Amino acid sequence: MLISNYITSAWRNLLHHKLFTTINVFGLAIGLAAVILISLFVRDELNYDKFWSKADNIYRLHTTFKIPGRDPLFAVGAPAPIFHLIKKDFPEIEYAA
């Protein structure tokens, strides 16, 4: 009985203040959409290469190319010969692709 009173009162208040209700509903919709998109992006980034066995031993190489007179260029990955250079500094590296 008490809940139906609250629902009826809220419904009448929403109908009486249409502009305020519209602003609140759109704000809530935009906020929920932003949270869903951000959480999907974070989930995708955290699950990168998780389908491989020994996924905790897989790393991505991020490279920054600095060209004089231009903004730095950020890339994921590097040329193939870089494996031999990194292997000298980090002997625990087994394979590279």
| pLDDT values of the chain reduced to their tens digit, one per residue, 97 residues | 789 999 999 999 999 999 999 999 999 999 999 999 999 999 998 887 788 888 888 888 888 889 999 999 888 877 778 888 888 888 888 887 7
Length of the chain: 97
User: pTM for the full model?
Assistant: 0.56
How far is 74 from 63, CA to CA, in rounded Å? 6
Give the pLDDT of residue 34.
98
Mean pLDDT of the chain: 89
Give the pLDDT of residue 32.
98
User: Contact 63/77 with Cβ under 8 angstroms?
Assistant: yes
Give the pLDDT of residue 84.
84
- CA 41 to chain centroid: 3
Give the pLDDT of residue 55.
82
